[in-house]
Structure 1
Amino acid sequence: MAKINIEPVRAFNVMRTIFGGFEEVGVSKNDCKNFKREINLFINEYDVEMMVENLMKKKEHLPDFSCEYFTDDENCLVGLFWLDGESKRNYQVFGDIMSFDATYGSNRYSMVFVPFTGIDNHNNNVSFGAALLASETAETYKWLLRCFLKAFGKQPDVVVTDQDPSMKKAIEELFIGSRHRLCMWHVMHKL
């Protein structure tokens, strides 16, 4: 039940109903809470490894799924890029203009989230893929754009970003045929 996000007390109540009473369950509510806490403590040490392993299994078994990652000398995750079949179909249809931007590193790993997005015929955002990066250097962006090109096989006609000089450098080097434009919202926000 923990795997499908049923909290410990609710899981205990389900087991109580199934087995016919508190005494028939064999554990207490506190035992369920403690078990969930121990699982979380164990996962906390291996969560990045488990996530990468899960994505690599998807890549192995799903033909339209792509995933790339790289680590530093200390085997810490530096970059992770992934996309699914729907993202590939979105890019085939709506990939003439692509936007990507890095969020502030607000997660507990201080990694930035980099979504690749486009706009469909109804002016709705569509996803082309996503990445987590440990740093926002030109080299990590070059790695990311190489992964993007490997997954899609072609570059977009137009790339829209904020005023990040590292992104600009990577785009100029790898997306030679693309026009790079700045996002007006970011420009106005900084003004």
Structure 2
Amino acid sequence: MCVIKGGCEFVDGIEIDWKNFKRDINCHIGGTDANLLITKLQNRKENATNFTYEYRCDKKQLNALFWADDTSKQNFELFGDVVSFDATYRTNRYCMVFVPFTGIDNHKRCITFGAGLLCREDTNSYIWLLRSFLKCFGKAPIMVMTDQDPAMKKAIEIVFPYTKHRFCMWHITSKLGNNE
């Protein structure tokens, strides 16, 4: 809004003005928001060292995306023996699933190796995502931890045949109460 109005000193208004501004921006962006995202990722790849992204479209609609930056790649090189990935975060507007690839560093802090967005939680989508991960990092992790999703299990067997697949203990123990 500062750019449009010509400077921060010209920006004022009440809450409804900001809501109207957001509505106008969303109308302007319309159906090109996926194109804006891909353009932004392409610019980042051109300007940032060692940035990687992959995407897949179907019928002119973005249905899969993976990205990792230099820090993520360095983290994977140092701490990527065990990778956890989970697809439990669903975005609101596009109903795409956010899939972070995470690990633990030497200080027992969570670190991110990369992330993806998927429109479906099926085996083919996970295969595409894991192949993008493998292409980006050049090697498979020694062990992968997931929830008990059968589509993930099948995709891991196909893309990472020599990787050990284990279920997350939290998911196992949270389901114990249901089986008593």
Name the TM tier (shorter chain).
Answer: 0.7 to 0.9
Identify if the C-alpha distance between structure 1 residues 181 and 50 changes in structure 2 by more than 3 Å, giving closer, same or farther: same
Q: Partner of 1:46 in structure 2?
A: 32
CA positional deviation for 1:105: 2.5
Q: Go from structure 1 to structure 2 and tell me whether the alpha carbon gap of 1:124 and 1:174 turns closer, same or farther (over 3 Å shift).
A: same
CA gap of 1:88–1:132, structure 2 versus 1, over 3 A, is same
The residue that corresponds to 1:160 in the other structure is 145
Q: 2:123 aligns with which of 138, 147, 151?
A: 138
Displacement of 1:187: 1.3
2:56 paired with 1:70: yes
**Paired residue for 2:45?**
59
Instruction: Report Cα offsets for 1:52-109 as digits up to 9, x if no partner.
Output: 111122123323100000011x211110000100000000000000000002424211
Deviation at 1:14, TM superposition (A): 1.7
Say whether 1:84 aligns with 2:79.
Answer: no
Question: Structure 1 stretches of 5 or more lacking a match?
Answer: 17-27
Distance 1:29 1:116, change over 3 A: same
- Opposite residue 154 of structure 1, the aligned amino acid is K
Identical-residue share of aligned pairs (%): 51
Aligned to 1:103: 88
CA contact (8 A) 2:89 2:99 kept: no
1:172 aligned residue: 157
Q: Which runs of 4+ in 1 moved over 6 A?
A: none
Pick from 14, 39, 42: which aligns with 2:9?
14
C-alpha deviations, 1:125-174, integer Å up to 9, x for none?
A: 00000000000111111100110010000010110000011110010111
The TM-score normalised by the length of structure 1 is: 0.81
Q: 1:54 to 1:12 in 2, by over 3 A?
A: closer
Q: Is the 8 A contact 1:12 1:29 kept in 2?
A: no
Shift of 1:2: 5.2
